[in-house]
Amino acid sequence: MKKIMVVNGPNLNLLGQKDPTLYGCFTLDDLNQKILDFADKNELEVKLFQSNYEGEIVEELHKARGNFDGIIINPAALTHNSYVLRSAIESIQVPCLEVHISNVHKGDDFRKQDVIGPACVGVITGLGWLGYLLALEYFLKL
């Protein structure tokens, strides 16, 4: 059974409350349930993790080394400036797929810079919660 870690970054605990016109009305619990349902139907083992703290995310990524077949990460605003997170991803030797609920290429110019994506096998952006399931499907078929 493949083991996948799903990491959600800062402020994703506020899904459903934070700008529903951009992020939708679903909560982090709703998203996690969709992920768990997909994993159960497809015989994937999934670990869910969310933190508002960059260092905690780095520590969790370090734990993935040698223990997981893949990582789905939504670094949220850390996407644009966290070279620490990028370095952690490059160091652990576990394939990572970056996922964003909204299209990060729309809106403010600073949101168009992605320092995490180059360390990942791919980036899924703008497809809402479905992006997470597509990422799980990728690891399932890998």
For the stretch 8-63, pLDDT in tens is: 999 999 988 876 676 677 899 999 999 999 999 999 999 999 999 999 999 999 99
β-strand pairing of 2-8 with 122-125: unpaired
pLDDT in tens, 84-99: 999 999 999 999 999 9
Task: Give the residue carrying structure tokens 């690891």.
Answer: 139
Which CATH number is 118's domain given?
3.40.50.9100
Structural domain boundaries enclosing 134: 2-141
Could you tell me the pLDDT band of residue 102, with boundaries at 50, 70 and 90?
confident
Give me 43's structure tokens: 């015989």
Structural domain count of the chain: 1
State the catalytic residue, choosing from 100, 105, 132, 138.
Answer: 100
Residue 123 has pLDDT above 70, yes or no: yes
Q: Which residue in the list 23, 53, 80, 138 is annotated as catalytic?
A: 23
Q: According to the model, what pLDDT value does residue 98 have?
A: 98
Closest by CA to 79, choosing from 113, 35, 106, is: 113
Per DSSP (E only), the strands in the chain are: 2-8, 44-50, 70-74, 96-100, 122-125
- What residues are paired with 44 via a beta bridge? 2
- Other C-beta atoms lying within 10 Å of the C-beta of residue 6: 24
83 is catalytic: no
- The yes-or-no answer on residue 105 being catalytic is no
